[in-house]
Amino acid sequence: MLSCALVLVFGAASASAAPEPGSDSAGDPYFPQDGNGGYRVAHYDLALRVDPESKQVDGTMTITAVATKDLSSFNLDFADLGPVRTQVNGKPAAAAHAEETELVVTPDRPLPSGKPFTATVAYSFNEQEQADALGRPELPGWVRTTSGGVAKFGEPGGAEYWFPSNNTPGNKASFKLTLTVPEGWIGLGGGKETPAVTKDGWTTSVWDEPNPVAMYLVPLAVDHFDVRRYALPAGQPVVVALNPDQPDYVRAAADRYPEVMAFLQEKLGPYPHSGAGGIFIDPGPGNQNFGGALETQTRPTYVSNWKDVDGEISVIVHENAHEWYGDSVSVRQWRDICLNECFASYLQWMWEEAKEGQDLDQKYRDRVRERWDDEDYWGHLLTDMCDGKEECDAGDVMNGQGVYDKGQLALHALRRLIGDKAFGEILRGWPVRHSFGNASWTEFEQYVQQATRKDLGAFFHAWFHSGDRPADEYLFPGSLAQ
C-alpha to C-alpha distance for 108 and 56, rounded to whole angstroms: 31
Residue range 432-459: average pLDDT?
Answer: 98
Residue range 271-286: average pLDDT?
Answer: 88
**φ, ψ for residue 444, nearest 5 deg:** -65, -45
* Domain edges within the chain: 28-328, 334-386+394-480
C-alpha to C-alpha distance for 330 and 25, rounded to whole angstroms: 18
Amino acid sitting at position 177:
L
Q: Do the Cβ atoms of 436 and 426 come closer than 8 Å?
A: no
Element (H, E) at 342: helix 338-356
Q: Which residue has the higher pLDDT, 8 or 412?
A: 412
Non-local CB neighbours of 401 within 8 Å, separated by 6+ positions: 376, 377, 380
C-alpha to C-alpha distance for 373 and 149, rounded to whole angstroms: 46
What is the structure's pLDDT at 11?
A: 43
- CATH class label, 334-386+394-480: mainly alpha
Q: How far is CA 274 from CA 178, 259, 437, 467, in A?
A: 17, 19, 16, 40
Q: Each residue of 51-80: b (16+ CB within 10 Å) or e? A: bbeebbbbbbbbbbbbbebbbbbbbbbbbb
411-442 residue pLDDT tens: 999 999 999 999 999 999 999 999 999 999 99
Share of the chain above pLDDT 90, in %: 84
Element (H, E) at 248: helix 248-255
Element (H, E) at 195: strand 192-199
Superfamily of domain 28-328: tricorn interacting facor f3 domain (2.60.40.1730)
Packing angle, helices 441-452 and 338-356, rounded to 10: 50
With a cut of 50, say whether residue 2 has pLDDT above it: no
Share of the chain above pLDDT 70, in %: 94
The β-bridge relationship of strands 71-77 and 56-67 is: unpaired
309-340 residue pLDDT tens: 988 999 999 999 999 999 999 999 999 999 99
C-alpha to C-alpha distance for 262 and 251, rounded to whole angstroms: 19
75-124 residue pLDDT tens: 999 999 999 999 999 999 999 999 889 999 999 999 999 999 998 899 99
DSSP of 414-434: HHHHH-HHHHHHHHHHHHHHT
Q: Which of 176, 177, 174, 178 is nearest to 214 (CA)?
A: 174
16-27 residue pLDDT tens: 579 999 999 999
Q: If you compute the radius of gyration of the chain from its CA atoms, what whole number of angstroms results? A: 23
C-alpha to C-alpha distance for 452 and 433, rounded to whole angstroms: 16
338-382 residue pLDDT tens: 999 999 999 999 999 999 999 999 999 999 999 999 999 999 999
- Range with lowest mean pLDDT among 162-171, 418-427, 462-471, 473-482: 473-482
pTM assigned to the model: 0.94
C-alpha to C-alpha distance for 253 and 205, rounded to whole angstroms: 27
C-alpha to C-alpha distance for 19 and 35, rounded to whole angstroms: 20
Q: Do the Cβ atoms of 277 and 299 come closer than 8 Å?
A: yes
